[in-house]
Amino acid sequence: MELPISDLIIVAVSKLVDDAQVESREPTHYDLEVQIKKAGLTKADPKFQGQSVGKAKRVRATLNWALENEPSLGGQLIGLLLSQVRAVGGFRDSSPNFVGKEQILNAISAFDSESFSLSENGDIRPKVLDTLRGKHLTEALQAYAQRAKRGSEDAALLSGTGKDLLEATAKHIIQTRFGNHPANANFPTLFGQAYAALNMATPETPIAPNEPAIKNYERALFQMATSINRVRNREGTGHGKLCISALSTEESHSIIESVGIVANFLLNRLNDSS
């Protein structure tokens, strides 16, 4: 599973392998090297560049490079590191490799900000959006939108398709404003209702004299969202990934980033109008 990567998570994960305050603690430098190689990030490893650094700095430098250049690989490395720490007893307080209560709580908080739930025993999974309501759901959707804007494929998928984040966002807005949302509305209708709930202009909204220029941007975002939906319905499987064979990697990533842009704009409007 590809996990989220952010500055906050990088610091928290590096603290999980930091043994500067103790004589020795697994994972070892060799363990780190193995996981970095598995993630395809050897070229970003300070040791590979001839530097001699501690474990925390090594992990932090590798992940910082990944954040800027290969966030998907960085997310993979974070997952591998969490598994490694868990395997050597890092999350068990009776283990000589226990990383510390504060470090675990900091990691839990960091992943929570990206809509992932890390337990105190090291298990991690995406938050189930169906269990969230109100402000908590808004925050979770915003975290997914931010990740989608960085091109993280799984952030835009949610339950399997590239339009799910947009659908979930639209339904949440309608639910928040009107108390319920239509169960079987098609995508343009659903998105139109979300736009109406936020008093935003769709392409069908007549241009008013001296209207704010942002209204044209709202119309453009609506067209972008419905275009994404059409691409998915035409090229996708209906239950698979958005990065499908009919699209190039660059096209797929551009669509994913666009999903994040649209969802984030709508959620910010929801917050501003609350």
Read off the pLDDT of residues 57-89 as tens digits, 9 standing for 90 and up. 999 999 999 999 999 899 999 999 999 999 999
Q: 220: part of which helix (H) or strand (E)?
A: helix 214-235
pLDDT digits 0-9 by tens, 5-32: 999 999 999 999 998 777 789 999 999 9
User: Residue 153: its pLDDT value, please?
Assistant: 57
Tokens linked to 186: 């098609």
Sign of the torsion formed by the C-alpha atoms of 224, 227, 229 and 232 = negative
Classify residue 131 as left (phi > 0), alpha (psi -120 to 50) or beta: alpha
pLDDT at 246 over 80: no
For residue 130, which amino acid is it? D
User: Residue 234: its pLDDT value, please?
Assistant: 61
Mean pLDDT for the chain overall:
86
Mean pLDDT of the 167-180 span: 90
pLDDT at 239 over 50: no
CA separation (Å) from 95 to 25, 32, 119, 220? Answer: 10, 19, 17, 56
User: Residue 56: its pLDDT value, please?
Assistant: 95
Residues 86, 13 contacting (CB under 8 angstroms): no
Per-domain residue ranges of the chain:
7-126, 131-272
27 cis-preceded (ω within 30 degrees of 0)? yes
Give the 3-state secondary structure percentages of the chain, helix then strand then coil, rounded to 5: 60, 0, 40
* pTM (2 d.p.): 0.65
pLDDT at 114 over 70: yes
pLDDT at 2 over 80: no
